[in-house]
A and B are shown apart, each in its own frame.
Chain A
C-alpha cells in the first residue's frame, strides 16, 4: 500500500471504505435493465407480447375444437351461423371452410412468430459475424465483402423472393431462405460501422499491446460492446420479418394450406368481407397489429435503455 498522508477525516473515510465488503458494481447492462423497466410502454408491451406468445403455445388447450375438422353443418352458411359465440365454444367463430377460427389463429400465431424470431435470429447471426469480420480485418477484405453487400442490396428483394417461391415451390423453408438471403445485409452494415469505431478505441489497442489474440479480442472486447446495437436491431427485425411473411402470404405465395399464418388468415378474411364475415378478418388482424406494436415498443425501449446518449 502506498504511504499516503491522510488527515484524520480522510483516514476515517478510508477505514470505513475498507470495512465495506466487495462493492458490487453496477454494469452497463444492469443500468440498461433499470432504464428499460422504467419505460412503461415497453413493459406493457413485454406483458402483452408474453400473453400472445403464451396464446400461441397453449391457446389450443382452451378449446375442444382442433384446426382441421370441418363442421359440415356450418359449411356453406358460415356468414349466417358461423359467428363467434362463447356458448358454442367457437370463440372466434368459423373460417370460410367451416373450421374453428380460434384454433386456426393459434396455429397462425405460432407460425408467424416462429418465422419472425427464427428469421431475425439467422439475419442477426450472419450479419453480425460478416460485419465484424469485415470491420475488424479491414483493408481489401473489407472492400470486397462490403461491395458484395452493395450488390445484393441493389437487387429488389421482393422480386427475388417471389421468383424463388415460384421456381422452387411454396414452402416455409423457401420463405426462410428468401428472407434470410436479404435480411442480414442491413445488419452487417450496421455491425461493420460499429466495429470500425470500436477498433480504434484505446482499450482494443491496450489488449493488442498486452498480447491478447485476435479471436479473443473479438469475443471479449468487440462483441460485448456491439451487443447493445445488435439486440435493438434484432427486436426491430422480428416485426419486419413477420410483416414480410404476412405480405407474401397475403399475396398467396407464402404459407400453404393446411398450415396458416397471420398473413394468410388476413388474406382469407379480406375475401369473405363482402358477405359480412368480418370476424374472419378482425381476429387475425387484431393479433397481428398487437404483436407488431409490441415488438416496436420493446425495440424502442431497448434502444433508449441501451443508448441513453443517443436519444
Chain B
C-alpha cells in the first residue's frame, strides 16, 4: 500500500477565525482564533485515519476546511496532486462527488421535509443530472440495501426512523456517488453503544468492499482504535502525534496522548480502579492566545525551558510513530 501515491496530502493547513470581543466597535481589529494551526498529514487510498482530541481542538474545523466549508488562512490540500483549496467553486463542485461526509447528529443531517428516497438520491441528481428516474430509483434502492435499510421504505420520512437507522441513511447518501473518501465527523457519538458498534462495523465492511479511505473523527479513543489504521492526535489546533494505531495504543509517544489513553475507562471495575490515570491539571488554554513554543507545555508534567522557547516539530521515531515533543 505504501508504494502508492497518497489520495490526500494536507500541508501546513491553518484555519483562523476572526473573533471580535464583546461590545467591540465595527472598526476594532478582530482577534485571531487559531482553530487549526499548521496541520500536515497524508492519507493513502484504502486507509482509515482517526483524528482524536478533546472538544475544541479543531477536529471538525480541519474536516470542514478540507471540504472547503470554512475559509483557510494558508496551506494546501492536494487531492491526487490537485490543490483543493486553490480550486474555483465550479472545479471544487466537480470533485465533491469523490469525497462525502457523514455527520454527528443523524436526524439533523436529513431534511425533515424530504423522503429518505429523495435524500439519498440528492447527490446523484446533483452530480449526474442526466440519469433517468428509473435508474436513480434502482441505485437508491441498492444503496439503502447495502447499508441494511429495507428499500421498500424509500417513501418514509426521517422522523420515522431511529438514530442508528438515520445514520445508515446518511451513509447511504454518502455512498451513492461512489466516493473515494468519506469524512466521518463524530458519526457515532450520538448513538448508544450497541448501535455504535453496528455502524462502525458497517463502515469497516463497506470500506473493505469499496476500497474507501476514511477520515474518522471522534473523541472516543476506543472507537478510533477499533477502526483506524493510523491515528492523529490534535491539541489546540496542532498535531502532537501521528502514529500507527497499534503502536500508539501500545506505547504513546506524546505525553498528551498518554494522558488521553490513560483516561479511557476499562470495562472491568477492578482493573479500572487499579489503573493509574494521568490527570492533567488546568483547562485547555484559549486558542485566541495559545502558549508560546509547545502548545501543551502549560499542562505537561515533563515541561522544560526549551518547550516555552521552541515549537517542537513532528519527527519520525521509526516504528511508525511521529511525535512533536522536545522531551520524549
Contact = CB atoms under 8 A, between A and B. Distances in A.
A157 to B, nearest CB: 30
B279 interface: no
B157 A211 contact: no
A20 interface: yes
B32 interface: no
Interface residues of B, number: 41
Contacts of A29: 113
Contact of A28 (B67, B123, B157): B157
B251 interface: no
A25 B155 contact: yes
A221 interface: yes
Contact of A221 (B111, B116, B205): B111
Interface residues of A, number: 33
Interface string B103-116: 11100111111111
Interface string B79-119: 00000000000001100110011011100111111111000
A22 B157 contact: no
Contacts of B156: 23, 25
A2 B146 contact: yes
Interface stretch (A79-87, A170-178, A200-208, A289-297): A200-208
The A interface is mostly helix, strand or loop, or mixed, namely helix
A208 B157 CA distance: 21
Interface in B110-147: 110-116, 122-123, 126-127, 145-147
Contact of A26 (B104, B116, B157): B157
A4 B160 contact: no
A209 B157 contact: no
Interface in A1-58: 1-2, 4, 14, 17-18, 20-29
Interface of B: 67, 69, 92-93, 96-97, 100-101, 103-105, 108-116, 122-123, 126-127, 145-148, 150, 152-157, 159-160, 170, 173, 202, 205
Interface of A: 1-2, 4, 14, 17-18, 20-29, 201-203, 205-213, 216, 220-221, 224-225
